[in-house]
Amino acid sequence: MPLDRKTVEYVANLARIELKPEESFKLAGQLEDILSFIDRLSKLDTDKVKPTNHILPIHNVLREDQPEPSLTIEQVLANTAHKKGSFFTVPKIIE
């Protein structure tokens, strides 16, 4: 699947990546390789392959949940200079 420069620049914009012109040509080739590999994988017959998320039979080792006393609000806020009442204050990030 050949990728043109416009498509590469669009994908780079979505990923918030600034590319130089020579980088976009290199990235186009790399993306073509990745897409062709995925295309080859999609042609494989996987009907008899059991779904898995790991190649080894591993299991989560979880400890028993033991309730413990929590910190007080004063203890939690003791190490911050940015507080208002019983809350942390943070900079506004949405305009």
Contact 1, 32 (CB under 8 A): yes
Spatial neighbors of 14 by CB under 8 A, at least 6 apart, are none
What is 5-42's CATH number, 3.40.309.10, 1.10.20.60, 1.20.58.1880, 2.60.120.10? 1.10.20.60
Q: What is the pLDDT of residues 31-62, one digit of tens each?
A: 899 999 999 988 988 888 887 777 777 788 88
% of the chain beyond a pLDDT of 70: 98
Q: Which residue has tokens 């033991």? A: 66
Position 33 scores a pLDDT of: 92
**Minimal CA–CA distance to 1: which of 31, 42, 43?**
31
Position 92 scores a pLDDT of: 87
Position 41 scores a pLDDT of: 87
Per-residue confidence band for 1, with pLDDT thresholds at 50, 70 and 90: low
